[in-house]
């Protein structure tokens, strides 16, 4: 389980590294939910961070497989027009952002 401060740090890094590349980002976003866009990162941040921590790999495919199995399989957007969400193609950037936060924490520890 992550604290609110930990998740906020991950989200801040993701906003810098990932959200700026999202082609579905609504005007005024992020955050996107207040603008009517259900964002996979906003909905499932803790799960995405956890799967990155459980699947450390130099390859992207293990992350992608676990993302589809553990996040997409129960996402509220699954049966909507918002699926697949941009996180599907932005996952590599999200993984990099999460790893950057983890590296920064190790250096500061």
Q: Which residue in this structure is represented by tokens 């801040």?
A: 12
pLDDT in tens, 58-92: 778 888 888 888 888 888 877 777 777 788 889 89
How far is it, in rounded angstroms, from Cα 24 to Cα 37?
8
The predicted model scores a pTM of 0.87
Every domain of the chain and the residues it spans = 4-108
Contacts of 50 (CB under 8 A, 6+ apart): 2
Distance, CA of 18 to chain centre: 8
CA angle 10, 17, 108 (to 5 degrees): 45
């Amino acid at each position: 389980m992550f604290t609110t401060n930990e998740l906020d740090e991950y989200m801040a890094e993701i906003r810098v590294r990932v959200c700026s590349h999202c082609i579905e980002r609504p005007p005024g976003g992020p955050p996107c939910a207040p603008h009517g866009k259900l964002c996979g990162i906003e909905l499932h941040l803790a799960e995405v961070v956890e799967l990155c921590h459980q699947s450390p790999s130099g390859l992207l495919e293990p992350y992608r497989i676990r993302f589809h199995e553990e996040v997409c399989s129960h996402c509220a957007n699954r049966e909507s027009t918002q699926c697949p969400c941009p996180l599907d193609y932005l996952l590599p950037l999200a993984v990099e952002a999460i790893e950057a936060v983890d590296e920064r924490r190790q250096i500061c520890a």
